[in-house]
Amino acid sequence: MSRASRIPILGGATALVLHRPHLTVATLSRQLAAIGLIVSDCWPELPPNAFVADFVFFDVDLGFDQQFPWQPGEAPMPTIALIGSEAPGRIEWALWHKADAQMIKPVGKAGVYSALLIARQTFEARRAQAAQIAALQARVAERQTIVRAVAVLVAQGVDDERAYHQLRSLAMNWNVAIEQAAQRVVAMAGEDRNDRANRV
């Protein structure tokens, strides 16, 4: 079985380096430019156009939460942690932000390209997993709505099996999916309860 190449072309990608002015920034910027990336450095916070960057490198040693315009672990692009100090608190902070790859400072002549590729793949895998979890949660919510709709119909004097068939018939009559029919049945039951409460 042949394995298709999964190495992305990085030429033309943009990278932001969130790091105080330092030799690390100059070295990293040179290597990124040699790979073909368009590089900008910033400190102490990300610029307004950060959301359109393809990669963000960030300093773990002096980094802080307020530097990022997103919640920890929710960066909309691959992030790479630049680690100089191995103090447990600093490592814990980097882990909290769920960096997709890491580089040890001082940055040498190697490691930038592999960090970019690892970060991209880790980010894409994490995003795919999040989408899968969201889809599963949506399916669970839909099933719960179907169960609630069946319970509403059972309360009208039919058994479970007949109530489910009745729900399917409603879906066919309304020309909608059974999940949408269940939402309607539950909503109508809620409206009926509100009307009764208002009359009391």
pTM of the model: 0.71
14-110 is classed CATH 3.40.50.1970 = no
Task: List Cα–Cα distances, 10 to 14, 30, 117, 127, 130, in angstroms.
Answer: 9, 15, 9, 19, 24
> Position 20: which residue type?
R
**Mean pLDDT, range 142-160, rounded to an integer:** 87
CATH class of the domain defined by 133-199: mainly alpha
DSSP secondary structure string, the chain?
A: ----------TT-EEEEE--SSHHHHHHHHHHHHHT-EEEEESSS--GGGGG-SEEEEESSS--GGG-SS-TT--SS-EEEEE----HHHHHHHHHTT-SEEEESSP-SSSHHHHHHHHHHHHHHHHHHHHHHHHHHHHHHHHHHHHHHHHHHHTTT--HHHHHHHHHHHHHHHTS-HHHHHHHHHHHHHHHHHHHHHH-
> Which residues of the chain form CATH 3.40.50.2300?
14-110
Query: What are the pLDDT digits (tens) for 50-88?
Result: 999 999 999 999 999 999 999 998 999 999 999 998 899
Average pLDDT score over the chain: 88
- What pLDDT was estimated at residue 61? 96
Pull the structure tokens for residue 113: 């390209």
Half-sphere exposure of 83 (CA within 13 A, CB side): 19
Q: In percent, how much of the chain has pLDDT > 90?
A: 54
